[in-house]
Structure 1
Amino acid sequence: MKKVQIDYELFRKLIFYHLGSDDQYEEDIRNGLEEKLDALVRHELYTKYKTAPSEEEQEKARQEYLDKRGVSASYRW
């Protein structure tokens, strides 16, 4: 089973939210988890790009990765 690390501050907010039913952290938690999910997706695409069996699949994964990173087409090779 894979493990995911999260920022200490996000972890602390999750604990306060769930144990203390404190809603003031809800937006911070949502944003932190969305950022983490985006990072996981980018990592997965990068890994797919580096390990793709064919050049066509490798290029497709590279383009998807660059799209997720927000790299404009003019900066790509």
Structure 2
Amino acid sequence: MSLPDRKEAEVRRMLDVPHPAVPPDLAARAAERGRRILVRRRAVQAVAWALLLAAVAAFAVWAAVVEPWVVPPADTTPPLDGW
């Protein structure tokens, strides 16, 4: 028996046995689990958006107060030549 024939025979043998019984509430449980996953995913996305907006707002307030684009005043005066 060649390799593909042996694999085909194994598959046929696996498919010939009676199928296991499926629980009657399997579809309902799967749907409920999917709903929970979807609700959890939406909640995580909402929290992530809220954190992002809070970070942007905090950065805007910080930038407005500190004004990092303004050059700070010099601590020392330049030397005077010619006196």
> TM class by shorter-chain length?
0.3 to 0.5
TM-score (norm: length of structure 1): 0.40
Structure with greater Cα Rg: 2
- If asked which structure has higher relative contact order (CA below 8 Å, sep 6+), I would say 1
> When the two structures are superposed, what TM-score results if normalisation uses the length of structure 2?
0.37
